[in-house]
Amino acid sequence: ENTKFLDIANDFWWNWYIARAININLLSLENENFYPNRTINRVEVLKLITKLSDIDLSTYASKNYEIKDVTKTDWEYPYVVFAIDNNLFSLNGWYFYSNKWVSRWELVNLMYKFKK
């Protein structure tokens, strides 16, 4: 199945998964590229998990947390608060480090914690 991303060949084995993610609005075709070899950061993982689980982030957006590297007006603020409130990631000296890459172990651990 063709995913319509310019950097994904039509015959790649993972196209079905990418097409499915597009169909359930987990991925967007807004960008012409998928970047299959790019790493994923903390906020991107949180966005995927909350979208998959249909989490309402409005209550998290309204909370007041002092986070030195994420302000309440940043788009990722509700995701960061969600992670902190649910012990998915923690602050390190009041810093969240949104752009920190997630290792495979962290991803599995995050999924385990979230499933609980």
pLDDT value, residue 20? 87
**Calpha distance 48→58 (Å, rounded):** 16
pLDDT digits (tens, 9 = 90+) for 46-99: 999 898 888 999 999 999 999 999 999 999 999 999 999 998 888 899 999 999
* Residue 13 confidence (pLDDT) above 80: yes
Question: Structure pTM?
Answer: 0.82
